[in-house]
Amino acid sequence: MQFDQLLQYTLSGLSTGAIYALIGIGFSIIYNATGIINFAQGEFVMLGGMLTLFFLETLKLPLWAAIPCAVAASTAAGMLFERLAIRPLRRPTPINLVIITIGGSILIRGLAMLLWGKDTHSIPSFSGDDPIAVGGATILPQHLWIMGITLLIVAANKFYFYHTISGKAMRACSYNRRAAGLVGIDVRRMVLFSFIISSAMGSVAGIIVAPLTMTAYDVGVMLGLKGFCAAIIGGMSSGGATVVGGLLLGVLESLGAGLISSGYKDAIAFIVLLLILFVRPQGLFGKAQSERV
């Protein structure tokens, strides 16, 4: 086993991991604000990639314009989803919420399939495909874009949650929704906000990864589940812990695929997930919470 090879796997693992982290944070934001696990989260990742393609090829926009348009359109889809599917629920039991988000994800996937067909597509890299040498390994410019944008989003997130009124209100909702309502926070609006932020983040993840992995109407399922794993490893935090969880997952997966077998690549994420859940269900870094009845 050469060091160069190890470095190569680790570097490419880190960039996939960054994607998982972004998706995972999206999960956590909605979960913390509403207690909902949004199984449709992966579909916004898919929408990001597919809509970019749509703006690029059908509407002939340049890449720098297509990306914001795609993010805006996916975010609008996220808002619509919250308004039409989540808000009208009269007696939302957790199991019904699981089913309704799953129904929503099937619906969105179906619409994407009808609109854009079943083929896989690629979108161009943001700044060329010339490999950059790092030690004995090489990375693509797109990898740097992924890392940079992830970092930026995580930092923006941190700023929003800790230094703006609406971010603080959202955190209040995650501690105690009723109490947040009592002090005058519009909880329903915060729920809508959480869907907006997380669908925007999901679509960005889908856009920045699409030049590397191609995109199709059904890429959302696996990406969504991996993001979910990242969030669980991070103990459903919407910050650093989930980022570490995502990166860890990406690197383990990439090393596993390279060193053990690429066929079992997807299994690795879920084995890690099960181990974490069995041993430390509060996440890798979380403190154990005493449970109330």
Question: Which residues of this chain interact with another protein, rule CB under 8 A?
Answer: 31, 37, 85, 88-91, 93-96, 98-100, 102-111, 113-114, 221, 225, 228-229, 232, 261, 263-264, 266-267, 270-271, 273-274, 277-278, 281, 293
Which residue, 61 or 107, has its beta carbon nearer to another protein? 107
Residues with Cβ within 8 Å of 68's Cβ and at least 6 positions away in sequence, in order, are none
Least distance between another protein and beta carbon 3 (Å): 29
- Residue whose tokens read 């690629």: 122
**Closest by CA position to 101, among listed 43, 39, 41:** 39
Q: At its nearest, how many Å lie between another protein and the CB of residue 14?
A: 23
Burial of 63 (0-12, 13-18, 19+ CB in 10 A): middle
Residue 19, helix vs strand vs coil = helix
CB of 141 to another protein, least distance (A): 32
Six token digits for residue 278:
């069995």
| Inter-CA distances, 68 with 49, 74, 104, 200, 258, Å | 12, 10, 24, 10, 35
- Based on CB atoms, which residue is closest to another protein, 63 or 266? 266
C-beta of 170 vs 233, nearer to another protein: 233
Q: Which of 133/293 has CB closer to another protein? A: 293
100: left (phi over 0), alpha (psi -120 to 50) or beta: alpha
Q: Which is nearer to another protein, 76 or 277 (CB)?
A: 277
CB nearer to another protein: give 160 or 228: 228
- For residues 282 and 291, the answer to whether their CB atoms sit within 8 Å is no
Count of positions (residues) in the chain: 293
At 75, is the secondary structure helix, strand, or coil?
A: helix
Give min distance, CB of 104 to another protein, in A. Answer: 6
CA–CA separation, 158 and 172 (whole Å): 15
**Among 76, 71, 27, 21, which residue's Cα sits nearest to residue 51?**
71
94 vs 124 by CB, closer to another protein: 94
Closest distance between another protein and the C-beta of residue 274, in Å? 5
For residue 229, the minimal CB distance to another protein (Å) is 8
- Which is closer to another protein, CB of 8 or CB of 105? 105
In the complex, least distance from residue 188 CB atom to another protein, rounded to whole angstroms: 17
Output the smallest distance, CB 115 to another protein, in A: 11
SS (H, E, C) 21-33: HHHHHHHHHHHHH
